């Protein structure tokens, strides 16, 4: 198994990984399907083969578990919630929380998502330039609280988390690259610790309020109810820390990752007018100015392909890690027990052996006649196997609804000279996306064709 050249004493490859994480990981593909790098003095194994990553995720549950350097950093922020806990806890916890994401709940969720998106879009003004990531973060926060954390106390606490989330994400990266940095009296550490303390106190308040019987007339049949009722361990015990960890996990996933996907999608539409026009025409034809229902989502294939391509190029969970539970073999290489493994969805989904012209934005590559087994296996923005993201359908629905509502209400234009770049933290979100809003005349597309009265807003469907 090749050891990547360029390691320096003490730091190993940490310098290159810290300077350009995605670029450095991209270079490793040429060295083999499994390679070794040094994180300080510790060896980590980077898996570059889509087939081997899928083997590890789908059929290797007895050999691999959540762990390794990247996941350890996530645990510092999120605790041992559903996304970060070990396999044993996950096997017990996931079935208890699955009802919150049952397809039978999706029509109601979609209705709430559309209402949130309409309120957000109607608050903008013609000629306004919006910071897309900030606006979509607010939208994702509103959708999360209205769908999964429904009581007023939870609303306030999730908004507080939205404020602190950037501080938490900024503090994680140094802890991944140089774990000892967490012990230094640095400003970033003080901000991180203060944000974590506020978040933990707020979640305890939210849990106590709900546990005290403040459940509302409808019983608040939501995710928090399940979190408080479900026991996370085989012996039936549950602690306040268990609830905190799961709440943190769902808030981070429901805000940061969803807002990133919607922001990348709006940026892609604004910079690819041909695809913008096709999506806009589809929305006009299928929805005709109405808010989408759950049943409508399957009738928007252009928009679905666009989102699939966005997730291929910019998967929010761009880097993940595992650890071996026992000595095992992967791709003909022996791995010791306790080995750290890294894999990057961003790198796997830009493999030129799998995706032709991989850096080009091309939603049409997801048409049925162009997609084969290789592409499906390499596409893992939500993971795969038993640990696949529990909220994948929820997040995709939210992104689809948000785009459908916004694009029917406004015509968007990229701001000339805006410098858009990936912000690499635990997630891969866009920085610098700014869009100019213009009133959208009836039957108008992105090229400005058509005349008529401005669409005042997206209509709600009648019962």
pLDDT tens column, 157-213: 888 888 887 887 777 666 665 666 677 788 878 888 898 888 888 888 888 887 776
Q: Kindly state the average pLDDT of the residues 362-366.
A: 97
For residues 101 and 335, give the distance between their C-alpha atoms in angstroms, rounded to a whole number: 36
Rounded average pLDDT over 286-313:
97
pLDDT tens-digit map of 33-52? 999 999 988 999 999 999 99
Query: Is residue 147 over pLDDT 50?
Result: yes
Q: Is the model's pTM score more than 0.85?
A: yes
Buried (b) or exposed (e) across 107-125, using 16+ Cβ within 10 A? Answer: eebbbbbbbbbbebbeeee
Domains of the chain, earliest start first: 82-299+385-439 (1.10.630.10)
Average pLDDT over residues 129-140: 94
Q: Is the pLDDT of residue 83 over 50?
A: yes
Paired tokens of 363:
């939603």
Query: Beta-carbon neighbour count of residue 271 at 10 Å?
Result: 14
pLDDT surpassing 90 at residue 264: yes
Residue in this structure with the two tokens 């350097």, named with its chain if needed: 69
pLDDT value of position 445: 43
Q: How far apart are CA 410 and CA 389, in angstroms?
A: 32
CB under 8 Å to 316, separation ≥6 — which residues?
256, 257, 260, 261, 381, 427, 428, 429
As a whole number of angstroms, the distance between CA 39 and CA 195 comes to 28
Per-position DSSP letters for 76-124, written without gaps between them: HHH-S-TTTS-HHHHHHHHHHHGGGG-GGGHHHHHHHHHHHHHHHHHT-
Residue 364: the pLDDT is 97
Q: What is the pLDDT of residue 267?
A: 97
DSSP state of 354: T
pLDDT value, residue 176: 61
Average pLDDT, the chain: 87
Mean pLDDT of 370-385: 94
Backbone φ and ψ of 434, nearest 5°: -125, 130
């Amino acid at each position: 198994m090749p050891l990547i050249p360029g390691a320096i004493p003490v730091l190993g490859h940490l310098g290159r990984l810290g300077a350009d994480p995605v670029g450095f990981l991209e270079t490793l593909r040429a060295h083999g399907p499994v390679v070794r790098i040094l994180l300080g003095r510790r060896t980590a194994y980077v898996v570059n083969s889509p087939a081997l990553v899928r083997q590890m995720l789908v059929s290797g549950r007895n050999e691999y578990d959540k762990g390794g350097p990247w996941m350890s950093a996530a645990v510092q922020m999120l605790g041992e919630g559903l996304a970060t806990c070990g396999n044993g806890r996950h096997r017990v916890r996931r079935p208890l929380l699955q009802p919150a994401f049952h397809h039978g709940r999706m029509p109601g969720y979609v209705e709430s998502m559309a209402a949130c998106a309409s309120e957000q879009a109607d608050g903008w003004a013609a000629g306004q330039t919006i910071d897309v990531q900030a606006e979509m973060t607010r939208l994702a926060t509103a959708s999360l609280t209205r769908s999964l954390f429904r009581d007023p106390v939870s609303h306030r606490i999730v908004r507080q988390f939205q404020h602190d989330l950037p501080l938490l994400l900024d503090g994680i990266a140094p802890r991944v690259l140089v774990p000892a940095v967490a012990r230094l009296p640095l400003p970033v550490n003080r901000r991180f610790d203060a944000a974590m303390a506020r978040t933990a106190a707020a979640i305890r308040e939210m849990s106590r309020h709900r546990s005290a019987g403040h459940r509302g007339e409808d019983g608040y049949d939501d995710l928090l109810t399940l979190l408080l009722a479900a026991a996370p361990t085989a012996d039936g015990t549950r602690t306040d820390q268990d609830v905190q960890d799961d709440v943190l996990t769902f808030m981070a996933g429901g805000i940061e990752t969803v807002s990133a996907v919607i922001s990348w999608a709006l940026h892609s539409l604004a910079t690819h007018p041909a695809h913008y026009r096709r999506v806009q025409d589809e929305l006009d034809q299928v929805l005709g100015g109405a808010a989408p229902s759950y049943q409508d989502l399957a009738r928007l294939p252009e928009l679905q392909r666009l989102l699939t391509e966005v997730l291929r190029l910019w998967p929010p969970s761009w880097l993940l890690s595992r650890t071996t539970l026992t000595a095992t073999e992967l791709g003909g290489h022996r791995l010791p027990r306790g080995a750290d493994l890294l894999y990057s969805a961003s790198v796997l989904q830009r493999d030129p052996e799998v995706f032709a012209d991989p850096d080009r934005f091309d939603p049409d590559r997801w048409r049925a006649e162009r997609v084969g087994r290789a592409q499906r296996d390499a596409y893992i923005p939500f993971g795969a196997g038993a640990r696949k993201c529990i909220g994948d359908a929820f997040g995709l629905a939210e992104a689809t609804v948000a785009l459908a509502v916004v694009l029917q209400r406004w015509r968007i234009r990229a701001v000339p000279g805006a410098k858009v770049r990936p912000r690499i933290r635990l997630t891969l979100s866009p920085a610098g996306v700014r869009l100019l809003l213009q009133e959208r005349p009836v039957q108008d597309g992105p090229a400005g064709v058509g005349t008529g009265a401005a669409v005042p807003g997206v209509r709600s469907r009648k019962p």
